[in-house]
């Protein structure tokens, strides 16, 4: 096995022997069996810690144990990474919508790149991967967490194992028609790893190290699922997405108040009806007027300002882990 550059600017870990000695169907059959996990980072070009970790990893294969899994590593948005921008034309992590790929316009770099990744590594791609892990960083002071989309049993089983290992919160993103087309949704199983807080474009050793730990733990638990040695928890704790709140704005759409100091950096902390959310420079406070005991996340995330999101609200729920979820994940890896 060795690392090889791919057309998208990423690194494939696969045997060049296969490429030389096997052709067509035979090659596809072998690669289908061999590539299990697609690891993506740099999906947003201004998140530089993950790409730097991948670069170091490609120079030192011992940096992260692959636990016998075959991996494909990719930089999601290499052009945006080159210029230190989140994206060129559109958020790549909202570009994996089937309808936008079907009516492809060549001028949209991210939609093209999304299609390229699916053509290469998607379930029907030339080198299909079963599972996608998409490594990001956040500017919000919410530490590290996992994000899953919808309620796919395999995602719940996979994330429960990482939660047990590292204690990470799981943000379940669902039911938001304004936010669609996430990368991992194009794979049979997948999750986002968010590491933070770190400003955009800033390389920070603690963020790199945390990224390495979560990637390593994710691969280890997958290898244990494959080997039949994974020990699942009885329950998984999820923070179910309920919706997002915009900043207060004037009639011209300009932001008129900041996140309240009590709320700034208080991600995951439960709020009640009447909890302060925003404050303007006259000391006027806007208070929460919703249900008690909700947990705000991605508070003041820099990247979400353009999406008019000041924070998202979640409901903390404890779900019993179903046997069928575990079986589905095992099936995917066997
Ligand atoms: Zn990101």
- Assess whether pLDDT exceeds 60 at residue 5: no
Q: Kindly indicate the confidence band of residue 113, based on its pLDDT and cuts at 50, 70 and 90.
A: very high
Calpha distance 144→209 (Å, rounded): 12
pLDDT-based confidence at residue 229 (cuts at 50, 70, 90): very high
What string of H, E and C letters represents the secondary structure of 149-195? ECCCHHHHHHHHHHHHHHCCCEEEECCCCCCCCCHHHHCCEEEEEEE
Cα(146) to ligand 1 centroid in Å equals 12
Mean pLDDT of the chain: 90
C-alpha of residue 233 to centroid of ligand 1, in Å? 29
Residues 152 and 258 in one domain: no
Per DSSP, the chain holds a count of helices (H) and strands (E) of: 9, 14
Distance 84 CA to ligand 1 centre (A): 13
- Cα atoms in the Cβ-side hemisphere of radius 13 Å centred on 322: 10
pLDDT of residue 105: 62
| Ligand 1 centroid distance, CA of 20 (Å) | 36
On whether the CB atoms of residues 307 and 230 are closer than 8 A, the answer is: no
Compute, in angstroms, the gap from residue 22 CA to the centroid of ligand 1. Answer: 37
Residue 102: pLDDT over 90: no
Tokens encoding 94: 């909202």
More confident residue, 276 or 101: 276
- In the predicted model, what is the mean pLDDT of residues 319-334? 96
Question: 80 CA distance to ligand 1 centroid (A)?
Answer: 12
Q: How many domains does the chain have?
A: 2
Q: Which two tokens stand for residue 261?
A: 């100091």
Give the confidence band of 211 by pLDDT, cuts at 50, 70, 90. very high
Q: What is the model's pTM? A: 0.89
- Co-location of 141 and 177 in the same domain: yes
Residue in 127, 150, 13, 133 with CA at minimum distance from that of residue 76: 133
**What count of residues does the chain have?**
334
Query: Are residues 205 and 266 both part of a single domain?
Result: no
Whether residues 221 and 258 share a domain: the answer is no
Is there a single domain that holds both residue 187 and residue 266? no
The answer on 272 and 174 residing in a single domain is: no
Distance 281 CA to ligand 1 centre (A): 31
- My answer on whether 39 and 111 are in the same domain is yes
Nearest by Cα to 40 from 128, 133, 137: 133
Specify the CATH number for the domain of residue 297: 2.20.25.160
Mean pLDDT, range 129-147, rounded to an integer = 97
How far does the centroid of ligand 1 lie from the alpha carbon of residue 28, in Å? 31
Residues 207 and 284 in one domain: no
Edge-to-edge strand list for the sheet holding 276-279? 258-259, 276-279, 285-287
4, 193, 238 from 137: Cα distances, Å: 25, 8, 20
Tell me, yes or no, whether 193 and 292 share the same domain: no
Question: Order of strands across the sheet with 235-245?
Answer: 2-5, 11-14, 71-75, 37-41, 131-137, 189-195, 145-149, 170-173, 235-245, 311-320, 295-297
Is residue 253 domain-shared with residue 106, that is, in the same domain?
Answer: no
Q: How far is the CA of 258 from the centre of ligand 1 (A)?
A: 23
Structural domain of residue 262, as residue ranges?
A: 245-313
The CA 136 to ligand 1 mean position distance, Å, reads 4
C-alpha 116 – ligand 1 centre gap (Å) = 19
Same domain, 280 and 210: no
What is the distance in A from the centroid of ligand 1 to the CA of 91?
9
35, 74 Cβ separation under 8 angstroms: no
Residues 267 and 224 in one domain: no
| pLDDT for the residue numbered 242 | 95
Spatial CA neighbour of 202 closest among 76, 82, 52: 52
Query: What is the CA(31)–ligand 1 centre distance, in A?
Result: 29
How far is the C-alpha of 64 from the C-alpha of 60, rounded, in Å?
9
CATH code assigned at 228: 3.40.630.10
Given a cut of 60, whether residue 85 has pLDDT beyond it is yes
pLDDT for 16:
37
The CA 296 to ligand 1 mean position distance, Å, reads: 18
């Amino acid at each position: 096995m060795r690392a090889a550059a791919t057309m998208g600017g990423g690194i494939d870990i696969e045997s060049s022997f296969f490429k030389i000695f096997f052709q067509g169907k035979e090659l596809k059959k072998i690669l289908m069996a061999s590539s299990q996990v697609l690891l993506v980072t740099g999906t947003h070009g201004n998140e530089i810690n993950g790409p730097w970790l991948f670069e170091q990893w490609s120079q030192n294969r011992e940096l992260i144990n692959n636990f016998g899994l075959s991996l494909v590593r990719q930089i999601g948005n290499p052009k945006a990474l080159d210029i230190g921008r989140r994206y060129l034309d559109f958020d790549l992590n909202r570009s994996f919508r089937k309808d936008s790929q079907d009516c492809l316009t060549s001028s949209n770099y991210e939609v093209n790149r999304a299609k390229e990744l699916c053509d290469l590594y998607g379930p029907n791609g030339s080198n299909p991967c079963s599972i996608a892990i998409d490594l990001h960083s956040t500017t919000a002071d919410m530490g590290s967490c996992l994000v899953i989309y919808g309620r796919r049993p395999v995602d719940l089983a996979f994330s429960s194992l990482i939660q047990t290992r590292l204690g990470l919160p799981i943000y379940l993103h669902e039911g938001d028609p304004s936010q669609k087309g996430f990368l991992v949704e194009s794979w049979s199983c997948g999750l986002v790893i968010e590491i933070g807080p770190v400003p955009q474009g800033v390389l920070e050793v603690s963020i790199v190290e945390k990224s390495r730990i979560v990637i390593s733990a994710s691969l280890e638990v997958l290898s244990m699922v494959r080997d039949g040695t994974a020990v699942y928890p009885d329950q998984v704790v999820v923070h179910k997405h309920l919706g997002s709140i915009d900043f207060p704005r004037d009639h011209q759409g300009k932001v008129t108040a900041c996140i309240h100091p009590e709320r700034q950096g208080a991600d995951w902390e439960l709020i009640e009806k009447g909890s302060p959310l925003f404050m303007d420079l006259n000391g006027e406070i806007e208070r929460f007027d919703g249900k008690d005991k909700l947990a705000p996340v991605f508070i003041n995330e820099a990247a979400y300002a353009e999406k008019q999101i000041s924070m998202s609200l979640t409901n903390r729920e404890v779900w019993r882990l179903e046997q069928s979820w575990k079986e589905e994940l095992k099936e995917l890896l066997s």
